[in-house]
Structure 1
Amino acid sequence: MPHREWDAEADVVIVGFGGAGACAAIDACDRGADVLVLDRFQGGGATAISGGVVYAGGGTQHQRAAGFEDTTEAMLDYLRLETDGVVSDETLARFCEQSPDNLRWLERHGVPFEGSMAPRKTSYPTNEHYLYYSGNELAPPFSDAAVPAPRGHRAKGAGVSGKPLFGALRRAVARRPIAVRTQTKARRLVTDGERIVGVEVSEIGGRVPRGLHRVLAWAGRKLNIYYRPLGRMLDGPVANLERRHGVPRRYRARRGVVLAAGGFVFNRQLVAEHAPAYRRGSSLGTIADDGSGIALGESVGGRADRLHRVSAWRFFNPPLAMVDGVLVNNRGERICNEAYYGARIGDRVARQPDSEAYLIIDARTRAEALRQAPSQTLWFQRLQAEYVLRIGHVRATDLPTLARSRGIDPDGLAHTIEEYNAGAAAGHDRMGKDPAHVHPLSSGPFYAIDCSIRTQPGFPIPMITLGGLTVDETTGAVTREDGSPVPGLYAAGRNAVGVCSESYVSGLSIADCVFSGRRVAAALTEKRFQEEQA
């Protein structure tokens, strides 16, 4: 039944104040809509603690400044392979065509970028560089399908750049007449029997409970990044404050509700149910990434899809010398090209028996990696490199002993390394790895580094979920099983199936947040929509 009384109302009510929610709010406001944004915590979501990378191409000014020519067609050809039909060709083409403008849009709202090109392939560049190859562009079959171009645009800022990226979006929201209500948890969507007309929430009341909730949530977010067991200890107190001091409120949406509340990587039950191979990985985001936004959509008939797709990032480069190693499963079989982007490596690891994988390196590779580490890494990458190279490995004087010590089939490993070394001697790698990183593994001692999908001290495997609610790809409206829209309900970012819902490369999720957030803003403010609702 519809509510007759509302605590406030707006044209557009947005659930979630992360990257997608902020972009939707800014663009909807600039198009003339009255906007209200709700967030369980203080805003930022996973975007604020991300690397702050936006995947953009087709000839951005920063690509040109770095001396690279890129075209929409080349970007589209590359992403067709990565996305594998998760969205229509028309939508993917629109994403690529709008890419340069969406980057300029971010810059107009204060997000800083520049064209300082990283000198080597890396999972994340150092503070001197803000443009890089952030995916698999340089490796076959991708390099065969499209002319490679660097499309990873890292927001300029020391450390990890999610903070300055979202900080600029937050300030852009603050400069506008956009109402933002924090420490407000969406509980239920309100319908008038035909369409979604509002949101029921629980908003923490009282100065002391709000202050304590803010501090605990901040501490929990920090702890969850580095060691989830400690962060988990604060989940209960946070939820208890929400339960004991939550004040029920109702907010009306005259035109529509937008769900932009993130994925479900912190809902371990859902992860185990839909993506069991990833159940031992490390969650990246906040505890608000619990699937609640997706559940809201499902509660009114929306359809969820691609929930089995998770991106787990098994990065062992930098230092770049680590790419010289051979990645095998517990049968000793080689898994993939070690120069692939970490998310693609993680995807391949998830397909192995018990989701186990081990990087085999020799003494030469280890020595070179230790030499490179100081100049090629940021602090968190340096800690990881020092851990796996000095402590977090199994060491043996010969390969058979290494295999037995690590639980790898000795015969399988012997065959794989023999084949790999023969290819290296011939100057060829059957998996297409760059010849510069194909060297015989022959100088003992040998080392096995555990690259399995499981949380390890010093060597985590961060992951995000990629699936969400199905949407109309033109408007972002949430759709039912039969493909019809749920009137008045929209989704963006990781609440929605989007461009990165099959596979992931750095920057693709934030780029999709901008694309999908602006898409719903346009749909909810276009003249035809307003005339239909009159």
Structure 2
Amino acid sequence: MAEATPIRPLSVDQVQAWDHEADVVIAGYGIAGVSAAIEAARAGADVLVLERTSGWGGAAALAGGFIYLGGGTPLQQALGFEDSPENMKAFMMAALGPGADEEKITDYCNGSVEHYNWLVDNGVPFKESFYGQPGWETPYDDGLMYSGGENAAPFNTVATPAPRGHVPQMTGKRTGEKGGGYMLMKPLVETAEELGVRHEYDMRVQRLIVDGNQVVGIVAKHYGKELAIRARTGVVLATGSFAYNKEMVQAFAPQLIGKPGASIEEHDGKSIQMAQAIGADLAHMDATEVAFFGDPQLMARGILVNARGQRYVNEDTYPGRIGQETLLRNGNQAYLVIDEAAYEEGCAADSSTPFFRFQPKWVAETVEELESDMGLPAGTLQATVEVYNRHAANGEDPVLGKKAEWCKPIGSPVAALDLRNFTAGFTLGGLRTTINSEVLHVSGEPIPGLFAAGRCTSGVCAGGYASGTSLGDGSFYGRRAGISAAKG
């Protein structure tokens, strides 16, 4: 095989021999890849999955496992929550923008109930139990939870609140190590294997093989040896985000420079660059999810202030939104101001993230003293707490809309947790795709033979995020990619 730069496409006439062949070749064995594999195999295709690591799973297997579903799923109905595709769309368009893809979100919402049933039919278990406490995820095996701030301001005035974070039932979960995401992946991989899907592990995809403008295969390295893999009907890219590509982060999402990627190191953006090399279009490359290292049980009971001593977000909302507001609009500066009684109450509550319960850095008898110790501009924190307490005494928060149940005046002694620079994130932008998971050329036309899904694409999220949208649209549009690739 002729030498070439690693990312530029290889012309098919330079391929001397094919090392592997299949109808559909899929790069990546995470949630998008396995979903594509199942549907391509069911469509009658011979399917080969190329996985960079030594086993299936990807970032999905390490995730908490939220799958963002709604519109009236059987689980929502069983637990007494009403929802509709239109209501779900209203929330998603408001929460996932600006610039959210309305066609894709409409399509996703209309197909959400069917997708839930597809997951269940493929062995993914959901427990009929709702977890209603603030949290990054449920500490138990509950199947349903609010996962995007649907029941908090400002979104609870845009659409009727309905929980849409569907979590596969998992015993013995370990947050960040083995959670609901594992129990999402395991039955799907087993289904794929039963359907005859083949896999090759330790395969690093390098570049696409083209016949004119048609994608006909992939070049991959296996322990340093370059291999040519032929795709008779289609190639599916499902290799994850570019959160661990320093150059791409610097170019497209500089707000994440120096922040640990809330992802896996294999998310290096390689497949995005491979597609770019043949003219693929991109979308929302600056968009990021932001994890905030604060415990929601504590945040809801206090107030978050920035370096000016001012509140900037309702503390009872989705913690990912708190992370975005902190990093993107407040210079990554955050302090949690909370009184002793609320702190102790929060620490006693159940939580999936007790390791985010930090000791206060400053403790004082008065807000004035606390403000001085923290080095905030004189009078700023005092004014913030005075306004907050005045309304909280009536169970109200007209400034930011925190729900009444969390509105309690801040008393004494009072403390502050130093949460500056306590964020991490992963990228949301990627290849521009159609609702059939075709990768679009910069001309606006689909690139023949090339399909993609998951975090290497720009999915339903643009500016905002809700937990479960990555696994949700990764699996949903992974299915579409497999169907489209099987057709050729």
Q: How far does residue 404 in structure 1 lie from its aligned partner after superposition?
A: 4.0
Q: Comparing 271-280 with 16-25, which one deviates more in the overlay?
A: 271-280
1:291 aligns with 2:263: no
Which letter does structure 1 place at the counterpart of 2:401? G
Please say if residues 72 and 84 of structure 2, whose CA atoms lie closer than 8 Å, have aligned partners that are also in contact.
yes
> Could you report, residue by residue, the CA deviation over 1:239-272 in whole angstroms, capped at 9, with x for unpaired residues?
xxxxxxx221100111121111000112234323
Give CA deviations for 1:401-455 in whole Å, capped at 9, x if unaligned: 43344343333222211211122134321211011111111211x222233334x
Match of 1:29 in 2: 41
- Between the aligned partners of 1:82 and 1:476, the Cα distance in structure 2 is 23
Q: What is the DSSP-based 3-state SS (H/G/I as helix, E as strand, rest coil) of the residue aligned with 1:96?
A: helix
Identical columns (%): 35
Per the TM alignment, residue 301 of structure 1 is displaced from its structure 2 partner at its CA by: 1.1
Q: 1:367 to 1:101 in 2, by over 3 A?
A: same
* Equivalent position to 1:397, from 330, 340, 365: 365
Q: SS of the residue aligned with 1:45?
A: coil
Structure 1 residues 91 and 119: alpha-carbon distance in aligned structure 2, compared to 1, 3 A threshold: closer
Q: Which residue is 1:212 aligned to?
A: none
3-state SS of 1:266 partner: coil
Q: Please list the CA deviations of residues 74-131 of structure 1 after superposition, one character each: whole Å capped at 9, or x if unmatched.
A: 1111111112364443321210111111111111111111220114233211214221
For 1:157, the equivalent position in structure 2 comes to 170
1:101 aligns with 2:114: yes
Summarize the alignment of residues 114-129 of structure 1 with structure 2, pairs less than 5 Å apart: 114-129=127-142
Return the offset for 1:73.
Answer: 1.6
Matched residue, 2:426: 464
Tell me if the contact between 1:470 and 1:478 (Cα under 8 Å) persists in the aligned partners. Answer: yes
In 2, distance between residues paired with 1:186 and 1:126? 37
Matches within 5 A, 1:183-262: 183-204=202-223, 246-262=224-240
TM-score with structure 2 length normalisation?
A: 0.91
Distance in 1 between residues matched to 2:114 and 2:258, nearest whole Å: 39
Contact 1:259 1:491 in 2 (8 A): yes
Partner in structure 1 of residue 62 of structure 2? 49
Structure 2 CA distance for aligned equivalents of residues 314 and 105 of structure 1 = 32
Structure 2 CA distance, aligned partners of 1:58 and 1:196?
36
Task: Give CA deviations for 1:2-29 in whole Å, capped at 9, x if unaligned.
Answer: 1242112111111111100110011111
Residue type matched to 1:274 in 2? F
Please state if 1:431 is matched with 2:400.
yes
Work out whether 1:328 is the aligned partner of 2:347. Answer: no
Answer 1 or 2: higher relative contact order, Cα 8 Å, separation at least 6: 2
Tell whether the 8 Å contact from 2:435 to 2:477 is kept in structure 1 after alignment. Answer: no
Structure 2: 5+ residue stretches without partners: 1-10, 174-178
Q: Deviations over 1:328-353 (max 9, x none)?
A: 11011211111110111111112344
Q: Distance in 1 between matches of 2:482 and 2:253?
A: 32
Match of 1:406 in 2: 374
For 1:59, the equivalent position in structure 2 comes to 72
**Aligned equivalents of 1:347 and 1:193: distance in 2?**
43
Query: Does structure 1 residue 384 correspond to structure 2 residue 335?
Result: no
Measured after TM superposition, the shift of residue 394 of structure 1 is 3.0
Superimposed CA distance per residue, residues 123-142 of structure 1 (whole angstroms, 9 cap, x where no aligned partner): 21121422111111111221
In structure 2, relative to structure 1, the CA distance for the partners of 1:352 and 1:77 (3 Å cut) is closer
Structure 2 contact 130–142 (Cα < 8 Å) conserved: yes
Which residue pairs with 2:412 in the alignment?
A: 443
Report the CA distance between 1:392 and its aligned residue.
Answer: 5.6
- In 2, Cα distance between the equivalents of 1:86 and 1:255? 33
Which of 174, 183, 186 matches 2:193?
A: 174
Asked if the contact 2:36/2:478 (under 8 Å) is kept, the reply is yes
| Shift in alpha-carbon separation, 1:404–1:250, aligned structure 2, 3 A | farther
CA contact (8 A) 2:208 2:274 kept: yes
Q: CA deviation at 1:522?
A: 2.2
Following the alignment from structure 1 to structure 2, what is the Cα–Cα distance between the partners of residues 499 and 351?
A: 20
Q: How does 1:354-369 map to 2 (within 5 A)?
A: 354-369=331-346
After the TM superposition, which residues 15-26 of structure 1 pair with which residues of structure 2 at under 5 Å, given as runs? 15-26=27-38
The answer to whether the aligner puts 1:74 opposite 2:36 as a matched pair is: no
Q: Which amino acid in 1 is paired with 2:78?
A: A
In the TM superposition, structure 1's runs of 4+ consecutive aligned residues that sit over 4 Å from their partners are: none
Structure 1 residue 347 corresponds to structure 2 residue 324 = yes
The CA distance in 2 between the partners of 1:81 and 1:272, in whole Å, is 28
| SS of residue matched to 2:379 | helix
CA distance in structure 1 between the partners assigned to 2:167 and 2:421 by the alignment:
27
Contact 2:209/2:219 (8 A) holds in 1? yes
* 2:24 is aligned with 1:12: yes
CA offsets 1:140-169 (integer angstroms, 9 cap, x no match): 221112111111111000212111211112
Tell me the equivalent position of 2:253: 275
Provide the C-alpha distance between the structure 2 equivalents of 1:434 and 1:86, rounded to a whole number of angstroms. 28
* Cα offsets for 1:267-313 (capped at 9, x unmatched): 23432332233324332222111111211111111122212111112
Name the amino acid aligned to 1:44.
G
**Which of 448, 469, 476 in structure 2 is aligned with 1:515?**
476
> Would you tell me which structure has more helix in proportion to its own residues?
1
CA distance in 2, matches of 1:361, 1:280: 29
Amino acid at match of 1:479: L
Amino acid at match of 1:130: G
The number of equivalent residue pairs is: 468
> Residue by residue, what CA displacement relative to the aligned partner does 1:478-507 show, whole Å, maximum 9, x if unpaired?
122221222221110001111023321111
In 2, the alpha carbon distance for the partners of 1:93 and 1:487 equals 25
What is the match of residue 51 of structure 2?
39
Aligned-pair distance for 1:315?
Answer: 5.4
Q: Is the 8 A contact 1:38 1:182 kept in 2?
A: yes
| Separation (CA, whole Å) in 1 of partners of 2:244 and 2:130 | 34
2:385 to 417, 420, 424: 417
- Separation in 2 of the partners of 1:450 and 1:310? 23
Matched to 1:449, the amino acid is L
Structure 1 vs Structure 2 CA RMSD: 1.8
**DSSP 3-state at the match of 1:69:** coil
Alpha carbons 1:28, 1:35 under 8 Å: kept: yes
- Can you give the 5+ residue segments of structure 1 that lack an aligned partner in the other structure? 205-245, 455-460, 530-534
